[in-house]
Amino acid sequence: MSSDYTCIVAAFDFGTTYSGYAFSLKESPTDVKTNEKWYASSGLLVSLKTPTCVLLNEAGEFLSFGFDAEEKYYSLTGEEKHHRWRLFSRFKMALHNEKVISHSTTIEDLQGKPHPAKPIFIMSIRYLQQHLLKTLELRYTGIKESDIKYIITVPAIWGIAAKQFMREAAIEAGIDSKRLKLALEPEAAAIWSESLGHTLEGQKFLVVDIGGGTADISAHQKMSDGSLKNIHAPSGGPWGGIYVDENFLKFIRSIFGENSLESLKSDDMYDFIEILRDFEMKKRKFKFDSNDGIIFRIPIALKAFAEKHFHLSLLDRLKSLNYGDEVYLRSQDKLGVNSSVMQRWFAEPVSKMVEYIQNIIQEERNEDLSLIILVGGFAESPYVQQRIQEALPDKRLIVPGEAGLAVLKGAVMFGRKPDIISSRVMDCTYGIKVRAYYRENLYPVEKKEFIDGEWRVRNVFEIFLRINEDVPLDSKVTHTNFSRKSKKNAGIPIYRTKEKNPVYVTDRGCELLGQLKLQYDKDTPLGTKDIEVTFMFGDTELHVMAKDTSTGIMRQNQHSNSESEASVSRRDETDVSNTNIQRGCHLGSEPKMNYLIE
């Protein structure tokens, strides 16, 4: 297994709620260091990560990130000077649904005002990079920025568009694309957990990475050579800790009213933030079998707004909602709830996650899976741990120390040994759109068309690799087709689907990822050109290239390290993939020349 002898490997874990970085030097590659100086205004060490928050000043310029951004904004709210300042938090979830990602995609600040998403991501990554460089400068001498290989973690359940968005943001933030690699979060967590000395060889185990926004789930097997084989395509869903927060806020709105809460945010944002901070502390400690009531501090201003809006005292308002003894006033500024209410806030996201885990384990290929490794910030919740253990009593559950740092530290180790993940399971079926020769046994007669003297079928899905196939690292699949050069350029539309055997790219569920353009020189003669299309699989990102066999000129997707004239026409402004095409084994049948590329 190869090792990376880059001077420094640094990883950024850009989370929904918290972010941070870690690094290691080539002299001691397994000694992964994190920044230990994220401070809140109290001066006390609060976390080894800092909140994922960006603050823009009145001119719309970047001012600060993390605790600094929060504290500055909260101080402005106390002085009623915050209205033209903009605080953005928890904006990573904008990338969860890749179909809506574009350069015009917006996110909302704390006051609900929209702003283009990409600049906020760029500012965040640039801040983390600059903070890292300052830390290295203080600790070590003779280190140059060009000595650093960067790793950025992304949820495995993200699609190609979201991953490409992060890559582009990192490059625009100033990171050299040649020294940048994406790491899948649950894989990084698996690498770190394995390094802690847990006996995993030969075992099949599940990694459940639960952060603020998503639960990322992947299954692995530790091989005899020390590598990790992915045995189930990464999957998961939006079941992170922020959904418990959302349920709590729905409860607050149901009692005090939307207008009252908006009035509080407008007049006293600091009190609103204190409600969230108070709940966060209660949420972290709450246990599944708890019978104790939970007391929340309620700002006097919010109580006053509600009583004015509903023309009722808060006590009478609670009676009108028929909560019975589940919700009660403890004093003028304290609201109590029974543990059953708190459990309901956890129930929906955690139940969906537990059910999903059970379904994965019940699959035939995972029958002998005996171990679950739980990582991520939300994994530290006693409630989450107890629910999973109760649902799967015959499985061993491991929660590593500092579970919230497992992804970050594992990403550094992945950067040193990217081939530690020896194979991955395909999450989709991938291919291109072609015009196939008409064959009676394959296509209905109404599909055939007479094109250029031949009977053809349009919109055929030419499959390169199918969903759930096991793909070794650095694998490639090459098909040879042909393209008619009748204009300056032609395109190769790239598709994917969750179906195993799609016939047409117009079938339900087929998704256009992008289009690799073939740009012909003006001196290239008209006629048919043989084109080799190669998909590179097994990496954390998909790579696609096309080669004109008559000239040897190679085209690949944007941000290419080669000097070929590659370009990608992108759907919804998203790229097909990363670059850095690597050589590997050939999968599938021998190269063929059956189809006309549309």
The CA distances from residue 131 to 80, 144, 418, in Å, are: 30, 14, 25
Statement to judge: residues 160 and 300 lie in one domain: no
pLDDT of residue 560: 33
Q: For the whole model, what pTM was predicted? A: 0.81
Tokens read off for 276: 């969230």
Contact between 546 and 516 under an 8 Å Cβ cutoff? The reply is yes
Statement to judge: residues 445 and 546 lie in one domain: yes
pLDDT of residue 235: 85
pLDDT of residue 141: 86
Statement to judge: residues 433 and 414 lie in one domain: no
Statement to judge: residues 175 and 271 lie in one domain: no
The CA distances from residue 465 to 477, 533, 566, in Å, are: 8, 13, 23
Contact between 370 and 205 under an 8 Å Cβ cutoff? The reply is yes
pLDDT of residue 109: 92
Tokens read off for 493: 């539309």
Q: Return the CATH number at 73.
A: 3.30.420.40
- pLDDT, block means (10 residues), the chain with 598 residues: 72 92 91 79 62 94 93 81 89 75 83 92 97 92 92 89 91 95 90 72 85 90 83 88 94 95 84 87 88 91 93 92 91 91 94 94 84 90 94 91 88 90 89 90 90 88 92 86 62 91 94 79 61 84 81 54 32 34 35 55
Q: What is the DSSP string of 304-321?
A: HHHHHHHTS-HHHHHHHT
**Phi and psi at residue 260, to the nearest 5°:** -65, -40
pLDDT of residue 118: 94
pLDDT of residue 304: 93
Has residue 479 been placed in a domain? yes
Statement to judge: residues 462 and 538 lie in one domain: yes
Q: What domain range is 552 assigned to?
A: 426-597
Has residue 448 been placed in a domain? yes
Q: How many domains does the chain have?
A: 3
Statement to judge: residues 190 and 263 lie in one domain: no
pLDDT of residue 423: 86
Statement to judge: residues 413 and 476 lie in one domain: no
Contact between 477 and 590 under an 8 Å Cβ cutoff? The reply is no
Statement to judge: residues 173 and 254 lie in one domain: no
pLDDT of residue 40: 63
Contact between 13 and 34 under an 8 Å Cβ cutoff? The reply is no
pLDDT of residue 504: 95
